[in-house]
Amino acid sequence: YIFGFRADVKDNVHYAEDGSVVYPAGHNVVLYSPDTRTQRLIPGTLESEGITALCVSSNKKLLAVAERSDKAMISVYDMQTLKRRKVLVSSDAGSKEYVSLSFSGDGKMLIGQGGAPEYNLVLWLWEKSKVASVVKTTNQQGAPMYSCDFSHGDSSLVGVIGQGIFKMFRNADSGLKQANPIIGKRDPSLASCQVGCQRERLLLGMADGEVLLLEVGCMCFPTPPHPTSPPPNSHLPITTRNPEPPISQPPPPPAIPRYPQSSPLQGTDLKAAFSCDNGLPACSIAVYSKGFVVGQDQGVVTIFERDDKEFYRRARAFTIEGNPCKVLNLAISPNEEHLVASLDNNQAYTLMLSNQEIMKHDEMNFEILGTPNHAGPVTGLDVCVRKALIASCCSTDRSVRLWNWVDRTCELHRTFADEIFSIAIHPTGLMILVGFADKLRLMSVLMEDLKTIKELGIKGCRECCFSTGGQYFAAVNGTTISIYNTYTCDNVGNLRGHNGKVRCRVGSSH
């Protein structure tokens, strides 16, 4: 079982077919069941340096995991058996990592946006472990790219977003070719997130709080005349859609629509624009049958519903209280009853989407997913000998947490004003040592709080521990290790001899 969540992974929350929530934690991918509070784990590759992006296919049966290594790598897993089906490695990414992944609608292709320095977009025929096309997406200044996504309505269209960049590409016979997205008078550099929706349309989130609805069906090549097509002067309209979805056409023809290289590319059609009415940037978008949901800055989630007159209308907005940060990713359960939102402070919350019509916007309607997590790296950790408790601390959020590894819950959470460097828990689980920037504090563990018993003048203590029996504790003070009596807090000895700062300590079990 893993306590924690990684916010620095792109597209870090998804739903599996069985309703499990998929998210990264450490160097693992977790499939968490909210009903049973159990986890299934997919460990990362030993040779890699960490997970950078996740992606789940539209049928919820495939999971792609991008990892940082000497050559950027992608692993494709079966979501039911959790077995690895393919490992995709190529130098075409021009980077040690992929920053974003996306499956095509039929699940046969996988697109990956490479990271620095080249920022290449790589199109994989993943079942054959073959690179179909590579194109550079950044501008002349080398601006970072951070998102790529297949269009749901047309699997030959790919949108990419970077710092001040929004581009679209179509997969033609000669490879990925850039299209011309037209978004009216809006500045394309404000594009911040995207998602494909039904009827060959794309929702594009903007940094000014607007969401644009683009018609991508017209974003295609003029098809050559066909014997059965109406003449040019016919009054009948000519549609660019195929009679059947491309994925249902067995080869030949190919599984995806491809067009002549010499045909020009046309632009998108801006159908409508919707405002979140708060001016906050749109950071993420999720689509469901009744409309779409926008995750914004300051922990705001705005819901839009279908409208026959104006496509969509803003219905309501909710705020995740106590979390004034970006809503990085959104995921909607297969039955569309639950919404999961991941934040950039490593927290994940759920919302009963099916009950959102009767909720009050000024109340806290979100529930924590699993346990409340640290907002940054864990700087101190200790395990209790006689109780099923783990004590941890974090300098980023200045918090101390006690975890019950049997019940899989966070039993106690306390935030302080000062930075925290180290922690140790007494063998009985009734006391803890916490090293702050100004002092070392011995604290008593109460039902829902921590009470200071004694303060010692050791500044920035980065290592401390209790003895096996708990009658003594040791604390690092620069190059000296000081020994104290736990119950009187008297200094009973000092260990000197190190020339540099003591960075680690281990107590004897005897």
Whether 427 shows a pLDDT value over 60: the answer reads yes
- For the chain, the domains span 14-223+235-368, 378-495
Task: Read off the pLDDT of each residue in 17-39 and give the average, rounded to a whole number.
Answer: 95
Please tell me if the domain spanning 14-223+235-368 has the same topology as the one spanning 378-495.
yes
Q: In Å, what is the CA distance from 47 to each residue of 12, 71, 104, 506?
A: 21, 11, 28, 29
- Report the mean per-residue pLDDT for the chain: 86
Digit-coded pLDDT (tens) for 348-405: 999 999 888 878 777 788 999 999 999 999 999 999 999 999 999 999 999 999 999 9
> In this prediction, what percent of the chain has a pLDDT beyond 90?
68
CATH homologous superfamily of 14-223+235-368 equals YVTN repeat-like/Quinoprotein amine dehydrogenase (2.130.10.10)
Cβ count near 173 (within 10 Å):
12
Question: What is the per-residue pLDDT for 251?
Answer: 46
Question: What is the per-residue pLDDT for 500?
Answer: 59
For 378-495, CATH gives: 2.130.10.10
Contact criterion met (CB below 8 Å) for 112 and 118: no
Cis peptide before 117 (omega within 30 of 0): yes
Beta strand residue intervals within 395-479, DSSP E: 399-404, 409-415, 420-425, 431-436, 440-445, 450-456, 464-466, 472-477
pLDDT band at 469 (very low <50, low <70, confident <90, very high): very high
Question: What is the per-residue pLDDT for 252?
Answer: 46
Digit-coded pLDDT (tens) for 219-251: 444 333 443 444 444 333 333 334 444 444 444
Whether 255 shows a pLDDT value over 60: the answer reads no
pLDDT band at 505 (very low <50, low <70, confident <90, very high): low
228 φ/ψ sector (left φ>0, alpha ψ -120 to 50, else beta): alpha
CA atoms within 13 A on the CB side of 505: 29
Whether 278 shows a pLDDT value over 50: the answer reads yes
